[in-house]
Amino acid sequence: MDDTQIASLLKSSDLFPLPQSLKLSYGTAGFRGDASLLDSTVYRVGILSALRSLKLGSSTVGLMITASHNKVSDNGVKVADPSGGMLSQEWEPFADQIANASSSEELVWLIKEFVEREKISIGGVGEVLLGRDTRPSGYSLLRAAEIGVSSVLGCVAVDKDLLTTPLLHWMVRAKNKGLNASKYDYFENLTTSLMCLIDLIPVSEFKITKLVLDGANGVGGQVMNEFSFCTLDVEIRNTGFQGGVLNEGVGADFVQKEKVVPLGFGSKDDVGVRCASFDGDADRLVYFYVPSESSGGKIELLDGDKILSLFALFVKEQLNTFDDDGKEGELSRLGVVQTAYANGASTDYLKGLGLDVVFAKTGVKHLHEKAAEFDVGIYFEANGHGTILFSESFVSLLVGKQKDLSEGSDEYNAVSRLVAVSNLINQAVGDAISGLLLVEVILQHMGWSVQKWNELYKDLPSRQVKVEVPDRTAVVTTSEETEALKPLGIQDAINGEIKKYKRGRAFIRPSGTEDVVRVYAEASTQEDADSLGDSVAQLVKSFLGSS
Ligand code: G16
């Protein structure tokens, strides 16, 4: 690094001093925290993104300013790698180091050392696409990111303004593949593949029924509003245009955790209607319906596990149509990836379909990696974050096969559906918009109502609790997060509680996005799941103290 570069970094860094006692970790999905403390973090991640672009031969990198499901006063920042996926985990320690550097001098020293070690040639051309969600703090944080990127010589930041997180990831991937990568290209891509799937629906009478979407008062509802559906009937509520606070009593996280209707839903006209919820930056999707007028706001939830099951069933049906002797053989290896939060009933159902079910640690970066090992890998977290990955070689094989088959045959239609799904569903990251379109078209394909879909299996009752503790990092778990290794003795105590309940299962883990320890409990009745969740939460408090 030459003197001009060092001077540029020192000068800009002085604009963004690190707030006292701020300690950050890249976490499950980038850095998150109180927005008023994040200027220096976002500026530094801007520098990191520029270096990442230079390191990878001037490929385009993405930087998203969002705290997704967190409260509106929080914000955060994460990086999309040139593939469109999450930042390589190999760079996370460097992200942690620079985010916590206490002075401009220390920051520049860390960068210099890293640039030399990674053999990054400063002076090349780098490009970083910047996006933000609707949080009021996003605008000024985006300016900090811009300054960070442009303080690395030769690097430019391109402001893409308000976007869903998956849309930014999609743009990065498309740009690096040499494809058109604007928001309108994304819409066009969705429309073309959706229309293709609709044309292949076997039932003669294509029936459109209303879907009501809860936009979490965030960017997802607003982007959906811009996207005109000629073939779907979608009413969007909680767009944030008429007031309403981001993620407050609305959105996928609220609906999935509380299992009650979001604000603006629940009138008698909503009973039985198919509804869906996005989270704050539209990378999560859950469905629900109000079962009866007397349900008191309680809903029937169709979470990420049920979306995964629907997708798996559909993909398997297509594969079976053309795979030799009706089994997945050499041609296609289909696998599904879940986390410890997956409802036990969903795992039983998926295994019952004969599928390879693999478990990963919480965080889409972990699930994505495992799903990419299959020809078709479907991953979903119960919270609604997931997608379907098709390997490039499998898509080429499908396209080749399509040419050999006679148009209109069952095999041809099945192959064409899979090709269309691979175009529709975001290959970079979980995407609530493309996921929603795929759910809608599969329900049409099956001729199913949301109630019929819900009958695939019955969820075991479960309960999730957040516990505020003085130091959540005191909880250390095994790699699949099903057992706590620390604090010593807590797992034995949890096991003691689990034993008291039929089909009892529980685990604890430190959140990577909020300052809490999360508790998950499952049992054969809701009363038991609640009681197990509460007693494990009590154990967390007694081992770690309450804050
Ligand atoms: C992020 C991650 C998800 C994860 C969630 C909760 O979601 O992308 O993979 O499940 O945080 O993580 P934790 O339990 O560690 O707080 P989002 O939608 O907030 O970006």
The first and second tokens of residue 160, run together, are 């893409």
pLDDT by residue (tens digit) across 59-99? Answer: 999 999 999 999 999 999 999 999 999 999 999 999 999 99
Tell me the CATH architecture of domain 198-300: 3-Layer(aba) Sandwich (3.40)
Query: What pLDDT shows up at residue 100?
Result: 96
* Preceding omega of 487 cis (within 30 degrees of 0): yes
Tokens coding 164 = 């869903």
Task: Please compute, for residue 503, the number of CA atoms within 13 A of its CA located in the half-sphere on the CB side.
Answer: 16
The list of the chain residues with pLDDT below 70 reads: 204-206, 229-230, 324-332
Q: Quick one: pLDDT at residue 325?
A: 47
Dump pLDDT digits (tens) for 476-530: 999 889 999 999 999 999 999 999 999 999 999 999 888 899 999 999 999 999 9
pLDDT of residue 210: 92
What's domain 3-162's superfamily in CATH?
A: Alpha-D-Glucose-1,6-Bisphosphate, subunit A, domain 3 (3.40.120.10)
* Closest to 200 measured CA to CA, from 403, 417, 423: 417
Mutate to test the pocket of ligand 1, among 32, 75, 513, 516 (most ligand atoms within 8 A of CB): 513
What is the token pair recorded at 113?
Answer: 């050392």
Helix (H) or strand (E) holding 290: none
Q: Which residues of 27-59 are buried (b: 16+ CB within 10 A; e: fewer)?
A: bbbbbbbbbebbbbbbbbbbbbbbbbbbbbeeb
The residue to mutate among 135, 383, 466, 481, having the most atoms of ligand 1 within 8 angstroms of its beta carbon, is 383
Atom of ligand 1 nearest to the CA of 516: 16
Buried/exposed 257-272: b ≥16 CB within 10 Å, e otherwise: eebbbbbbbbeeebee
Q: Is the pTM of this model over 0.90?
A: yes
Pocket around ligand 1: residues whose beta carbon is below 6 Å from it? 28-29, 68-69, 279, 283-284, 362-364, 381, 383, 385, 511-514, 518
- The structural domains of the chain, with segments of one domain joined by +, span 3-162, 198-300, 305-454, 462-544
3-162 and 305-454 have identical folds: yes
pLDDT score at 232: 85
* Helix, strand, or coil (residue 468): coil
pLDDT of residue 326: 43
- Give the model's pLDDT for residue 206: 63
- Nearest one of 215, 228, 159 to 188, comparing CA atoms: 228
pLDDT, residue 209, reads: 87
> CB of 278 within 8 A of CB of 311?
no
Residue 428: how many other CB atoms lie within 10 Å: 25
Torsional class of 297: left (φ above 0), alpha (ψ -120 to 50), beta (otherwise): left
Per CATH, the number for 462-544 is 3.30.310.50
Place of tokens 């990568």: 181
The arrangement of secondary structure in 305-454, i.e. its CATH architecture, is: 3-Layer(aba) Sandwich (3.40)
The Å distance, Cα 30 to ligand 1 centre, comes to 10
